[in-house]
Structure 1
Amino acid sequence: MLGASTVMSFYRTYRPRVLEEIDNASVRQSVELLLTKPKSQLPHAYLLSGPKGTGKTTTARVIAKLFICMKPKKNGAPCGTCAECVAIADGRYMDVLEMDAASNRGIDEIRSLRDGIALAPSLGAYKVYIIDEVHMLTNEAFNALLKTLEEPPPHAIFVLATTDPQKIPGTVVSRCQHIPFVRASTPDLMHALARIVKEEKISIDEEALTLITGNAEGSFRDAVKSLEQVSFHKGNISVAVVQKTLALSESSRRETFLAHLVAHDGGAALRDIQKLVQDGVDTKAFLVDCLIELERRLVSDVMTKKEGAIPSGLRDLVSRLTQAYGELRSSPIPQLPLELAVVEYCENKAISIKQKEINASPITSRLSPVNKTHEEINNPTAGLLTLEKLSEHWHDVIDELKPFNHSVAGVMRSTRPKDVRNGIVTIEAFYKFHQEKLSETKIKEMIGTILNKLFGEKVKVEVVLGKK
């Protein structure tokens, strides 16, 4: 059932307007500390940093109200109901200026802002500047902003918000009161949704609310948007309704898919993905669900130190699925990165098993002493790197290459180790241009350095063209 917010979205209607309504407990406590001093003694600049949807802009407006509210509460907190507070919440108060640095990132915009700062406030005692995504400013713009932060007029207050604080110069950060935002906890998200459910008179099961919060990835905005989406359902909202409306996957579907992966049944896992797509399930949400379960298993195994409780290739599987998640956004086919991860994971195991069979064969065992070279006899460390070991850890080799050359690491994903003999590692590429790229002297030396780092053995690298 829809109530007062039929004109505006839930997120805008129920955005916290006063300090007590901020659902992020740690942020609320940080802002409450500001109430212990008179306004004239408070910092003139604040830096709010954290993931998207965690309430940075909302908190920035509450801080603006703290300075401008004409009818503060006994503890100094803004009332949220006076004309000034209402105007700030609606984005129409003249002395609170909000600027998006993503689209106003140049030095000209900051100079214009600096010129306006020198002017006295039009209505009250303070003028507040809220700069969102401040990390998008150019270096020149940051330098201009820094001069203003160093010597601000008494009436100027700055609230900078960012999702990437590492990109902000240390000189700017050091002049701000930093309030870090973390992803919202499940209790914080439940508290925020419960307030909306009560006001909108929505009939929804608690398990359904829990499912919404679990899918929000710690974002208040995403949680509220999901609640609004399912609120159009007529009647009581159950877990099944949430799953269908938000295109989420059932736990049984996830468990079946993971079981097929653990068994290295690539065909069955790919069929699971195809069924997923046919049923309209969100691939990203499904992948996150799988990673959450795998992370739980991984941590449980490490904490309890149970051997054999989970497959030995779990770390490799988590790594591949995490990489697939990162590639979802840029993929022209939504499910393709997940399918590629499945194929690579299952094929990597198949190569390792085949090599073990070869090494264990009676013929190989009988011939191995004869095939030892003079170098291997005189050098005890020679031969530590085997094809079996390299095949098993091929993904680790690729991961180690990424910091040196990301494009080479990408090419290596389409190759496999073919042979390890007499101090030479032979890599098999399946495309001519891949072979030519990897055959460059500096690239082969780079790969050799990585192999030496991982396996403690100096080797030369050769690249051959194989048949697909």
Structure 2
Amino acid sequence: MYIMSTVLYRKYRAQNFDELVGQDHITKILKNAVKSNQLSHAFLLVGSRGTGKTSTARILAKAVNCLKPKKDGNPCNKCDVCLSISNGNFMDMIEIDAASNRGIDQIRELKEKIEFAPSKGRFKIYIIDEVHMLTTEAFNALLKTLEEPPEHVIFILATTDVHKLPATILSRCQRYDFRLGTEEEIRGTLEDILSKEKLKVDNKGLDIIVRNARGSYRDALSLLDVVVNSQLRSEDAKKITEDEVRAVLGVPEVYMVNDLLSALLDGDSKKALSCIKELEMKGTNLVQFINFTLEVLREVLVAKISGKDIKEYSFSKGLQLRDLLSLIKDFLSVERDLRNSTNQILILQMLIPAYSKGESVEKKSTDTNIVKSSVRKNTTIVEGKSESVEVVNTDVIDLDITQVEKNWEKIAQGVKPLNTHLFAFLGASKPVTLEKNELCIEVPFKFYKDQIDTPVSRDIIGKVIFDVLGTHCRLKCIVNESVKPKLQSSADVVLKNVPVIKKKEKVEEEKKTFAPRKVKADVEAIFAGM
């Protein structure tokens, strides 16, 4: 069997700035700084794992201490300093793992030693990896030293979680953000290493490694290392097949994803249950299976949007975009639930009833927010003209107004647990027309319309309509002009209608004539319109 002497990511670690892949925006600046001798006293390297932060720190340590630096700012990699740093025995480069040396005592010890001049190089380099793991006290102890270190000291801090660093640390460092590698860059790196190692991997097998690396160069090389050192099926020890890559990395077969998704979309509960049972019998890692399924669904989504067709995935033939989005949302939900579940197979089996045609399953949102809205009295005089406002807008299926009318009470009941006031408004409304997927509802008063037109109310109604009718539609709300609104009650209206009091003489004359007064008419006149 083919055996490697050193793991690939260490054997092929970048030794100069030009060998760093995908970080040209950083290496260009660092090379210019080295050439012009305009070096900062503190560098902060930020990025995901396996993107080259530690390699860059070591290359920078070489470049600033190199005895024969190149004109472009790269180290020579031939002098004693460069060789010592490459071998890890250069006394003036101190690497500190902040995850295990995170306390204030370690920082105090560092501050005591920092005053000593470098023994061999021009600069003493302190590389603090995973610096975000330091305690608050340790950060505070480091602040002054980081702000004004001795001239012979350069700090290089590296972290994957920059948001955990205090602002006082960030302001004292030059920050460089490392980006994840693209699939083309990682594939190119792997192909270059494979050619040097005189190995061959099937193109599809290489695609699997690249996809599982998720932008990390180190992860890609580690996965390749595992595959090379764990060959199971190849007759030629230096030729790696797609099946071997799948077997070693635990990546499920494409047919398993096709079969399960096809069964779910067809509403075939028995076949879907059989597919999940097969996963269980083979001991498939369900987290990996769900991740692979989501990757497949992403490829299909991109293909659908681009107007292409992927023949490899049979379930995607004739698949509507709405159904595809529903699948993606459900599998994302499964992915979240798997992390905290001790019965992972059950989480996956719970998908089956949701797609079964033999049963009616009402989906309920798990992230419903109870919306509390304050009720205010309507003192607005309603105008005679009706107004209309468009509310919700998303995807389409053909509906008939009779379907909406039959389910309107159900829609109102679905709104009730989310917003009782909105439920009351919908109870007094009715669907009028449905044209081009635009639902028009009629309300008796403008106040009702104003409440329904709020963004919160639109979101609630849209969600319930989707749950009940299986589609989103644009919503238009109008006021019924035939309903006569009541005028606003105010002191001005009352005073305006108070009858003029007659003079005393006229009142006495009326008493003599014994004419009965119309008390009822006067009262009605005072409170007219209330």
User: TM over 0.5, yes or no?
Assistant: yes
Greater Rg over alpha carbons, structure: 2
The separation in 2 between residues aligned to 1:150 and 1:353, in whole angstroms, is 57
- Quote the Cα distance in structure 1 between the aligned partners of 2:136 and 2:429: 50
Among residues 452, 455, 459, which one is paired with 2:460 in the alignment? Answer: 455
| Cα distance in 1, alignment partners of residues 28 and 159 from structure 2 | 21
Tell me, in whole angstroms, the C-alpha distance in 1 between the residues paired with 2:139 and 2:263.
52
Offset at 1:124?
0.9
Q: Does 1:30 align with 2:30?
A: no
1:282–1:267 distance in 2 versus 1, CA, 3 Å: same
TM value normalised by structure 2: 0.62
- Establish whether residue 91 from structure 1 lines up as the match of residue 136 from structure 2: no
| Distance (whole Å) between structure 2 residues aligned to residue 119 and residue 226 of structure 1 | 42
Q: Deviations over 1:214-248 (max 9, x none)?
A: 12111212211221222243512121221122221
Asked if residue 160 in structure 1 is aligned to residue 170 in structure 2, the reply is no
Distance 1:347 1:121, change over 3 A: farther
SS at match of 2:362: helix
Partner of 2:130: 133
Q: Deviations over 1:274-321 (max 9, x none)?
A: 3124334443332222112222344555666xxx85353544543342
CA distance in 2, matches of 1:86, 1:336: 56
Q: 1:296 maps to what in 2?
A: 299
Q: 1:322 and 2:332 equivalent? A: yes
Give yes or no for contact 2:94–2:125 (8 Å, CA) kept in 1.
yes
* Cα drift, residue 353 of structure 1: 8.6
Report if the CA contact (8 A) 2:17-2:31 is conserved. Answer: no
Aligned mate of 1:16, from 3, 14, 17: 14
* Paired letter, 1:206: N
Counterparts of residues 389-400 of structure 1 (less than 5 Å):
none
Per the alignment, residue 521 of structure 2 pairs with: none
Contact 1:247–1:280 (Cα < 8 Å) also in 2: no
Q: Which has the higher helix share?
A: 1
Normalising to structure 1: TM-score of the pair? 0.70
Structure 1 residues 176 and 288 mapped into 2: Cα distance closer, same or farther (>3 Å)? same
Cα distance change of structure 1 residues 142 and 100 upon mapping to structure 2, 3 Å threshold: same
| Residue 203 in structure 1 maps to residue 200 in structure 2 | yes
Distance 2:287 2:409 in 1: 49
Q: Which amino acid aligns with 2:10?
A: R
Q: Which residue of 2 aligns with 1:60?
A: 57
Equivalent position amino acid for 2:260 in 1: F
Say if 1:2 and 1:200, in contact at 8 Å, map to a contact too.
no
Q: Give identity over the alignment, percent.
A: 37
In structure 2, list runs of 5 or more residues that go unmatched: 308-317, 365-400, 414-419, 431-454, 463-530
Structure 2 CA distance for partners of 1:63 and 1:452, relative to 1, 3 Å: same
Question: Deviation digits for residues 319-371 of structure 1, max 9, x if unmatched?
Answer: 3423433454554456555445x2585489942399xxxxx999x959979x9
- 1:248 and 2:293 equivalent? no
- Whole-Å Cα distance in 1 between the matches of residues 178 and 336 of structure 2? 23
Residues 354 and 363 of structure 2 are in contact (CA less than 8 Å); yes or no, is this contact kept in structure 1? no
Q: Using the alignment, how far apart are the partners of 1:141 and 1:158 within structure 2?
A: 15
1:258-277 matches, cutoff 5 A:
258-265=261-268, 267-277=270-280
Cα 1:231/1:302, change in 2 over 3 Å = closer
**Aligned residues of 2:353 and 2:361 also touching (Cα < 8 A):** no
For the Cα contact (< 8 Å) 2:16–2:59, is it kept in 1?
A: yes
Conserved 8 A contact 2:304-2:321: no
Q: Deviations over 1:410-466 (max 9, x none)?
A: xxxxxxxxxxxxxxxxxxxxxxxxxxxxxxxxxxxxxxxx99684269xxxxxxxxx
Computed over aligned residues only, the root mean square deviation of the Cα atoms, in angstroms, reads 4.0
Return closer, same or farther for 1:320/1:63 CA change in 2, 3 Å cut-off: farther
